[in-house]
Structure 1
Amino acid sequence: MRPTLPQFRGRLHDPRTAVAIGRRLGAAIVVCFLTGLISHVLRHPPGWMTGLLPTRPVWGYRLTQGLHVASGLAAIVLVMAKLWTVYPRLFAWPPFRSLPHLVERLTIALLVAATVFELFTGLINILQWYPWPFSFTQTHYAVAWIVAGSLLLHLAVKAPLIRTDRRPRRADVDAADRRALLTGVGVAVGAVTLTTVGQAFTPLRAFTLLAPRNPGIAPQGVPINRTAAAAQVTYASADGWALEVAGPKPYRITLAELNALPQQRVRLPIACVEGWSVNAWWSGVPIRDLLARAGIAPGRPLRVTSMEVWGYYKVMEMPAQYADDPQTLLALKLNDEVLSLDHGYPARIIAPNRPGVLQTKWVSRLEAL
C-alpha cells in the first residue's frame, strides 16, 4: 500500500529551477575546490613539488585563501537553495524504479552528504571550533575529492536534463517567479560575501559584520590564532633565549646580538587558512644571512623549530626558495614594535606567499636539511 506522503504544490520545485541554481552552486564549488587544492599543496606539498612552490606574488596565498573561504560561504547559501528546490523528491514513491535509478539516487545521496559535510565543517573551522575527534585538515582534503568526483558523476548523469534546460521554450509561466527566486538567492549570496570578505579584502573591512575576524582590530594590528598560553610559552621561558643555527659552522646568537645585526624592514601579508589576512610591516634579519653565517650554501631547505611545548607545527620545513628569498625574515618587530609574546616573541618567521600556520612563532632553532 502506498504510504500517505506530503503533497508539494510549489511550482518552483522543478528541474529548470534546480538546474539554474545548480549552475551557480557548481561554479562556487569549483572555485572552492581549486583554491583549497592550492592551500593544501602550499601547506603539505608532495616531494616532487617542493621546489616548485612560488614565493611570488607575495600576496598569492592571501588571494587564493580569501577566495576559498568566500566561495565556500557562498556555496552554503546556494546549497540550501538547491536542496529547497529538490527536497520533494525525497518523498517520491516508489523510492527507486530500477537498478540504474537506485544507483543514481545513491550517487546523489553521496554528493549531498559530502557537500554538506565539507561546507559546514569548513564553516566551523573558520570559527576555530573543533568538536570532532578527527584531523580536520586531512579529512577536509579527502572529502573534497569525494565532492569533486561525485559532482562530475552527477553532471554526467544529468547531462541530458541540463541540455534540455538550455533549449528555448515558448511559454514558461514560472519565469517571473523563477527570476525572483534567483534574485533573492543572489542577494543572499551577496550579503554573506559583503559581510565576511572584508576579513581578507581590505577595502570592504568596514562591512565585516559576520566575519569571525576583523584584522583591523587586533594586538599590533595583526590577529592571533594560537596564543602563547596555548603553546605554553611565557616570558620566563624566553629568558636567556638564544637562537641556535646548525650548519658547518654552527653558532648560537642572543636577542641582543640579533638586534645589533643589519635589520631589514618589509611589508608582507600574513594570511591564515581561516580566511583572514592583513598586511603588516615586519623587521628583522634575513634568514639567508643567518644561514650564510653558519656556512650553509644557498639552495638548501630549512627546518625551523619552535619553543612551543606542543603543536602540529612545532617543527616546520621550509623549501630552499623561501629560505633564500630576501624578504624571508627572522622577524623581531611587528609594525615597528617589539613582537608581543602572542605574536612570537622573541623571534618568528615571516615569508612571502606562505600560509600563516607556516610562519612559525617562538623560533629556537634553524637547521639546513
Structure 2
Amino acid sequence: MRPPTFAGQLHDARTATAVGRWLGAAFAVCFVTGLISHYLQHPPAWIADDLPTRPVWGYRLTQGLHVGTGLAAIVLLLAKLWTVYPRLYVWPPVRGFRHALERISVALLVASAVLQVFTGLLNIVQWYPWPFGFIQTHFALGWVVIGSILLHIAVKAPDIRAHWRLSSPATLALPAEDATDRRSLLLGIGAAVGAVTLTTVGQSFTPLKVTDVLGPRHPDHGPMGLPVNRTAAAAGVRPDRLRDWRLEVRGPTPYTLTLPELRALPRHTARLPIACVEGWSQEAQWSGVRVRDLLARAGAPPGAALRVTSLEVSGSYRVMEMGREYAEDPLTLLALELGGQVLSLDHGYPARIIAPNRPGVLQTKWVTLLEVL
C-alpha cells in the first residue's frame, strides 16, 4: 500500500514557521509562568523564606497568564500539527542522520506537547483520569517540552531562517495565491485563539467576566460571591466538628484561643485577591488577626517561619508551611470575615489563611493549629 500524497498549498514551511512563531511564544510564556507557580507552591528550602509577597496580585497575574496562554496554545498546537502532518508520511521515513534527528525531535515534541496541554486542560476542570500525580508530571513535562522545542529549532534552523521574514527570498518566490490563502488561514487561527481567550479569560481578568462563558469558574459564582474549589463536605469538615473549636499556637510560649477570644484580638482588614492554580481569581475584602501578631504572642523569634494545619481529614495541602516573608507580612491574616460577613463553612469557617501573592491552595481553610518553625 502506497502512502497518501498531499497537494495542499498550506502544508509548507512558510505556514509552519508562521504558526510556529505564535506557538513558541505561547509555550515560552507557559513555561516561565509555570515555573513561578510551581516554586510558589513547592519552594525549595533555599528560597522558601525569601519568596516575594509583592505585588499582592503577582500570582493572580502569572497564573492567569499561564492558564490563558495554555488554552490558546491548544488551538495553536492543533493548527501547527495540521500544517505539518503530511510530513509524517514521507517515504522513506529516514533519509540520513539529520533527517533522523529531525524525526526524533518532532516525535518528542508532539508527544510531550499534546500530553502537556491536554492534561493541563483537564486539570483546570479538576478531572484526573490517570494514575500518575499531575503536579509532578506536569512540571517534568514542562522541561521536556521546552527542551524538545529548542532541539527542534536547532534542527530546523535553516528552514526557519529561510521563511521567518515575509520578505525573505523563499517567500517571495511563492505564488501570490498561496500568500492570500495563508493570510486567510492565519487570520482564522488568530480569530479562534481570540475566541477561546475571550470566553475564558474572564475567570481571572474580571473586567471581562461577562464573557466568561467557557471558563470552569466564574469569579462571582460561589458562597459569599466567591468561588470555592473544595467544599467543607469534600474536606470532611462537618459543623459538629467545630463545636469545641480551638486555635492552638505552638511556640516558645504556646497558648490556645477560643473563637470569642480570637475575635476579641485587634482586627485588621486587607483587600487581597485569591487566585487558584486552575486559573480563576477574584479580589475580596478580608478581616482578621495578623499572623505575625499571633506568632509574636507565642514568642516567635524574628525571621521565624510557620506551619499551618487544617481540620481537613486528608489532602495534599492539609498541612502548609509559609516562609519568613509571608509570616511577617502585615497583610497576612488569619481571616475571620469575608466582605464584612463571618466566613461561611465552605470558605473556611471559623478561620482561614489569606496572604498576598500566594496560590489559593496555600490559603489554608479551617485552621486549627499554628506552629512556629
Q: State the TM-score, normalizing by the size of structure 2.
A: 0.97
- Offset at residue 215 of structure 1 (A): 1.1
Taking the aligned partners of 1:158 and 1:88, their CA distance within structure 2 comes to 17
Amino acid at match of 2:102: E
Pick aligned residue for 2:108 from 107, 110, 114:
110
Taking the aligned partners of 1:212 and 1:90, their CA distance within structure 2 comes to 35
Taking the aligned partners of 2:302 and 2:69, their CA distance within structure 1 comes to 39
Preserved contact between residue 253 and residue 297 of structure 2 (Cα < 8 Å):
yes
Taking the aligned partners of 1:333 and 1:298, their CA distance within structure 2 comes to 28
User: Residue 260 of structure 2 aligns with which residue?
Assistant: 256
- Offset at residue 107 of structure 1 (A): 1.5
User: Residue 170 of structure 1 aligns with which residue?
Assistant: 172
1:353 is the counterpart of 2:357? yes
How many pairs align? Answer: 367
- Offset at residue 5 of structure 1 (A): 2.1
Preserved contact between residue 221 and residue 280 of structure 1 (Cα < 8 Å):
no
Amino acid at match of 2:172: R
Taking the aligned partners of 1:242 and 1:303, their CA distance within structure 2 comes to 16
- Offset at residue 52 of structure 1 (A): 2.3
SS in 2 for 1:47: coil
1:222 is the counterpart of 2:220? no
Preserved contact between residue 302 and residue 366 of structure 1 (Cα < 8 Å):
yes
Summarize deviations over 1:182-213 as a string: whole Å, max 9, x none.
00000000010000000000110000011111
Taking the aligned partners of 1:188 and 1:51, their CA distance within structure 2 comes to 42
Taking the aligned partners of 1:252 and 1:86, their CA distance within structure 2 comes to 65
Taking the aligned partners of 2:233 and 2:205, their CA distance within structure 1 comes to 30
1:181 is the counterpart of 2:185? yes
Taking the aligned partners of 2:225 and 2:282, their CA distance within structure 1 comes to 8
- Offset at residue 240 of structure 1 (A): 0.8
Taking the aligned partners of 2:72 and 2:270, their CA distance within structure 1 comes to 34
User: Residue 322 of structure 2 aligns with which residue?
Assistant: 318
Amino acid at match of 1:346: P
Taking the aligned partners of 1:40 and 1:321, their CA distance within structure 2 comes to 18
User: Residue 213 of structure 1 aligns with which residue?
Assistant: 217
Summarize deviations over 1:106-135 as a string: whole Å, max 9, x none.
111001000000000000000111111111
Taking the aligned partners of 2:364 and 2:172, their CA distance within structure 1 comes to 62
1:187-336 aligned at under 5 Å gives the runs: 187-336=191-340
- Offset at residue 99 of structure 1 (A): 3.4
- Offset at residue 343 of structure 1 (A): 0.7
Taking the aligned partners of 2:353 and 2:316, their CA distance within structure 1 comes to 16
User: Residue 48 of structure 1 aligns with which residue?
Assistant: 46
The Cα RMSD (Å) is 0.9
1:336-351 aligned at under 5 Å gives the runs: 336-351=340-355
Taking the aligned partners of 1:130 and 1:256, their CA distance within structure 2 comes to 41
SS in 2 for 1:275: coil
Summarize deviations over 1:193-240 as a string: whole Å, max 9, x none.
000000000110000011111011211111111111111001100111
Pick aligned residue for 2:98 from 95, 100, 105:
100
Amino acid at match of 2:104: L
SS in 2 for 1:282: strand
- Offset at residue 91 of structure 1 (A): 1.1
- Structure 1: 5+ residue stretches without partners: none
Task: Single out whichever of 100-109 and 320-329 deviates more from structure 2.
Answer: 100-109
- Offset at residue 336 of structure 1 (A): 1.1
- Offset at residue 53 of structure 1 (A): 0.8
- Offset at residue 7 of structure 1 (A): 2.3
Amino acid at match of 2:153: L
User: Residue 370 of structure 2 aligns with which residue?
Assistant: 366
Pick aligned residue for 2:28 from 21, 27, 30:
30
- Offset at residue 103 of structure 1 (A): 2.5
- Offset at residue 51 of structure 1 (A): 2.3
Taking the aligned partners of 1:177 and 1:250, their CA distance within structure 2 comes to 73
SS in 2 for 1:63: helix
Q: State the TM-score, normalizing by the size of structure 1.
A: 0.98
Preserved contact between residue 49 and residue 305 of structure 2 (Cα < 8 Å):
no
User: Residue 64 of structure 1 aligns with which residue?
Assistant: 62
Amino acid at match of 2:367: V
SS in 1 for 2:353: strand
Pick aligned residue for 1:146 from 130, 144, 147:
144
1:136 is the counterpart of 2:134? yes
Amino acid at match of 1:5: P
- Offset at residue 49 of structure 1 (A): 1.4
- Offset at residue 154 of structure 1 (A): 0.5
Preserved contact between residue 288 and residue 298 of structure 1 (Cα < 8 Å):
no
Amino acid at match of 2:208: L
Taking the aligned partners of 1:132 and 1:57, their CA distance within structure 2 comes to 36
